[in-house]
Chain A
Amino acid sequence: MALDLDWAPAWRIAAAVKSGETSALAAVEASLVRIEKLNTKVNAFTAVVADRARKKAKAIDTNDANRAAPLAGVSFAVKNLFDVKGLATVAGSKINRDNAPAAKDSLLIERLEAAGAILVGALNMGEYAYDFTGENVHDGAAHNPHNLTRMTGGSSSGSAAAVAGGLVPLSLGSDTNGSIRVPASHCGIFGLKPTYGRLTRARSFPFVTSLDHLGPFARSVRDLALSYDAMQGRDMEDPVCAQRDAEPVTSLVERGAAGLRIAIAGGYFQKGAFPEAKEALARVAKALNVKREIEIPQAERARAAAYIITTTEGAALHLERLRTRARDFDPAVRDRLIAGAMVPASLVVKAQKFRRWYREQVLKLFDGVDAILAPACPCTAPKIGQITVVIDGVEMPIRPNLGLYTQPISFIGLPVAAVPVPLAPLPIGVQIIAAPWREDVALRIAHTLETMGVASAPRPAL
Chain B
Amino acid sequence: MAKPDETLDQFIEAAARMLSLPIEAKWKATIRANLEMTLKHAALVDEFPLPDEAEPAPVFKA
Q: Contact residues of A with B, CB < 8 Å?
A: 210, 298, 300-301, 303-305, 307-308, 311, 319, 322-323, 326, 331, 334-336, 338-343, 347, 349-357, 359, 400
Identity of the chain B residue whose Cβ is nearest the Cβ of A396 in the assembled complex: B37
- Across-interface contacts of B54 in A (CB, < 8 A): 353, 356-357
Complex partner residue of B38 from A326, A340, A355, CB under 8 angstroms: A340
User: Which residues of chain A are near B48, meaning CB under 8 Å?
Assistant: 298, 301, 354
- Could you say which of A319, A335, A341, A350 contacts B30, with CB atoms under 8 Å apart? A335
Output the nearest chain B residue to A411 by Cβ-Cβ distance. B57
Which of B21, B22, B42 touches A343 (beta carbons < 8 Å)?
B42
- A336: chain B residues at CB < 8 Å are 34
| Interface pair B27/A335, CB less than 8 Å apart | yes
Report which of B12, B20, B24, B55 forms a contact with A323, defined as CB distance below 8 A: B20
CA of A415 to CA of B3 in the docked complex: distance in angstroms? Answer: 46
State in angstroms the CA–CA spacing of A343 and B38 once bound together. 8
| Contact of B19 with A341 in the complex, beta carbons under 8 Å | yes
* Closest beta carbon of chain A to B36's beta carbon, Å: 8
Cβ A334 vs Cβ B27 within 8 A: yes
Asked if A305 and B45 make an inter-chain contact with CB atoms under 8 angstroms apart, the answer reads yes
| Chain A residues near B15 (CB-CB < 8 A) | 341-342
Please indicate which of the listed interface residues B42, B50, B56 has the most CB atoms of chain A within 10 Å of its own CB.
B42
A340 to B39, CA, bound (A): 10
A433 to B34, CA, bound (A): 30
Residue of A nearest to B27 (CB): A335
With A336-B34, A347-B42, A355-B57 already in contact, the answer to whether A342 and B50 are too (CB < 8 A) is no
Q: Is the interface of B mostly helix, strand, loop or mixed?
A: helix
Cβ–Cβ contact B55 & A319, under 8 A: no
Q: Once bound together, how far apart are the Cα atoms of A331 and B22, in whole Å?
A: 14
CA distance A255 to B16 in the complex (A): 57
Chain B positions 6-35 with a Cβ under 8 Å from a chain A Cβ: 11-12, 15-16, 19-24, 27, 30-32, 34-35
Q: Is A352 within 8 A of B57, CB to CB?
A: yes
Closest to B41 in A: A304
Q: CB-nearest residue of chain B relative to A341?
A: B19
Q: Are B50 and A357 in contact (CB under 8 A)?
A: yes
Q: How many residues of B contact A (CB 8 A)?
A: 31
CB distance from B13 to the nearest CB of A (A): 10
Min distance, Cβ A336 to any Cβ of chain B, angstroms: 5
Contact: B56 with A349, CB < 8 Å? yes
* Interfacial chain B residues near A352, Cβ < 8 Å: 56-58
- Distance in angstroms from A25 CB to nearest chain B CB is 47
Given contacts A298-B48, A326-B22, A342-B19, contact A353 B55 (CB under 8 A): yes
List residues of chain A with CB within 8 A of the CB of B16: 338, 342
Chain A neighbourhood of B58, CB < 8 A? 210, 352
- CB-CB under 8 A from A300, the residues of chain B are 44
Q: Which residue of B lies closest to A324 (CB)?
A: B22
Interface centre among B20, B27, B34, B46 (most CB of A within 10 A): B34
Among the listed A301, A326, A356, A359, which residue makes an inter-chain contact with B45, where contact means beta carbons less than 8 Å apart?
Answer: A301
- In Å, the complex CA distance between A359 and B11 comes to 33
The residues of B that contact A359 with a CB separation of less than 8 Å are 57
Q: Which 9 A-B residue pairs are closest in the complex by CB-CB distance?
A: A339-B34, A304-B41, A352-B56, A355-B57, A339-B35, A335-B30, A342-B15, A347-B42, A304-B44
Report yes or no: B27 in contact with A342, Cβ–Cβ below 8 A.
no
- What residues of chain B lie closer than 8 Å to A349, measured between beta carbons? 56
Q: Which A-chain residue is minimally distant from B59 (CB atoms)?
A: A356
Q: Do the beta carbons of A354 and B30 come within 8 Å of each other?
A: no
* Contact status of A210 and B39, CB under 8 A, knowing A338-B23, A342-B12, A342-B15: no
**Quick check: B45 and A335 within 8 Å, CB to CB?**
no
B30 with A331: CB separation less than 8 A: yes
Q: Report whether B56 and A353 are in contact in the complex, using a CB–CB cutoff of 8 Å.
A: yes
Q: Which residues of A contact B44 (CB under 8 A)?
A: 300-301, 304
Min CB–CB distance B25 → chain A (angstroms): 13
Closest to A356 in B: B57
Closest chain B residue, CB of each to CB of A335: B30
Given contacts A304-B44, A338-B21, A341-B21, contact A355 B34 (CB under 8 A): no
The answer to whether A338 touches B31, judged by C-beta atoms less than 8 angstroms apart, is yes
B residues near A323, Cβ cutoff 8 Å? 19-22
In whole angstroms, how far apart are the Cα atoms of A326 and B45 in the complex? Answer: 30
Closest partner residue, chain A, to B22 (CB atom) = A326
For the complex, what is the distance from the CA of A330 to the CA of B29, rounded to whole Å? Answer: 16
Tell me the nearest residue of chain A to B47, going by C-beta: A301
Contacts of B11 in A (CB 8 A): 342
Cβ contacts under 8 Å, A311 to chain B = 34, 38
A351 to B39: give the CA distance in the assembly, Å: 12
Complex Cα–Cα for A343 and B16 (A)? 12
**Can you list 23 pairs linking A and B with CB atoms under 8 Å apart?**
A301-B44, A304-B44, A307-B38, A307-B41, A311-B38, A326-B24, A331-B27, A331-B30, A335-B27, A339-B32, A339-B35, A339-B38, A340-B34, A342-B15, A342-B16, A342-B35, A343-B35, A343-B39, A343-B42, A347-B42, A350-B46, A353-B57, A356-B54
